[in-house]
């Protein structure tokens, strides 16, 4: 899964909704949220994991074994393991990243917050993240959960994606705009 926010399918939304309901019912929402955040990070950092989960060559049973071994090593809760096993058994391992995104979106909606992806050229400091979060809360009128990503190609500045809205204050975009303006002159 790339740093971009995934587009969720109807199936991903159904699985995420079922997991959210079970997590609330069993009063294990914080644990499930933490587990899924860790699993999302694994998908983000491991191209091999993404490839294995989506591979049509690997059987669903083998995907389930691999995913459950990963979940056990990561010390995920029983509910998270059961969820991953069910997803894998149903041949939907490749959709786990979009299920996680759907879960996060549903949870944010229930909490009255919004998720935002902040991409910057360099890793942001805690103070910068806090400042961006405060400014977004002030301009949007509600809390925002920030996820950060680093893309050195941006050269400087940052871009924020909130739902379908995209705010770009990167040096790369400014330079491209200047280059275009110079060509037209």
CA separation for the pair 91, 97 (Å, rounded): 14
Please report the domains of the chain, with CATH numbers, ordered by start residue.
10-108 (1.10.520.20), 113-184 (no CATH)
Please name which of 88, 36, 94 lies closest in space to residue 64, comparing C-alpha atoms.
88
CA separation for the pair 101, 136 (Å, rounded): 20
Q: Which residue has the tokens 């979060």?
A: 133
Phi, psi dihedral angles at 25 (to 5 degrees): -60, -40
pLDDT in tens, 73-98: 999 999 999 999 999 999 999 999 99
Q: First-to-last CA distance in the chain?
A: 41
Please name which of 112, 113, 127 lies closest in space to residue 162, comparing C-alpha atoms.
113
Please state whether beta strands 144-150 and 114-120 pair in parallel, antiparallel, or not at all (unpaired): parallel
pLDDT in tens, 109-135: 888 777 788 898 899 899 998 998 888
Cβ 58 vs Cβ 52: under 8 Å: yes
* Model confidence band, residue 5 (pLDDT cutoffs 50, 70, 90): very low
Cβ neighbours of 70 (radius 10 Å): 17
CA separation for the pair 99, 133 (Å, rounded): 25
- Would you say the pTM of this structure is higher than 0.85? no
The predicted structure's pLDDT at residue 69: 94
């Amino acid at each position: 899964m790339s740093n971009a926010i995934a587009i969720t399918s109807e199936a991903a939304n159904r699985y995420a909704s079922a997991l959210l309901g079970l997590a609330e019912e069993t009063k294990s929402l914080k644990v499930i949220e933490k587990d899924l955040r860790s699993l999302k990070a694994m998908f983000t950092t491991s191209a091999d994991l993404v490839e294995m989960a989506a591979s049509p060559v690997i059987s669903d049973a083998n995907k389930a074994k691999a995913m459950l071994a990963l979940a056990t090593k990561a010390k995920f809760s029983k509910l998270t393991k059961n969820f991953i096993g069910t997803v894998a058994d149903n041949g939907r391992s490749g959709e786990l990243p979009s299920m996680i995104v759907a879960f996060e979106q549903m949870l944010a909606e229930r909490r009255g917050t919004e998720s935002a992806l902040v991409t910057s050229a360099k890793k942001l400091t805690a103070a910068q993240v806090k400042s961006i979060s405060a400014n977004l809360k002030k301009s949007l009128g509600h809390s925002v959960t920030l996820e950060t990503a680093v893309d050195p190609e941006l050269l400087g500045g940052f871009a924020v994606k909130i739902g379908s809205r995209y705010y770009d204050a990167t040096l790369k975009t400014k330079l491209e705009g200047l280059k275009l303006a110079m060509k037209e002159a």
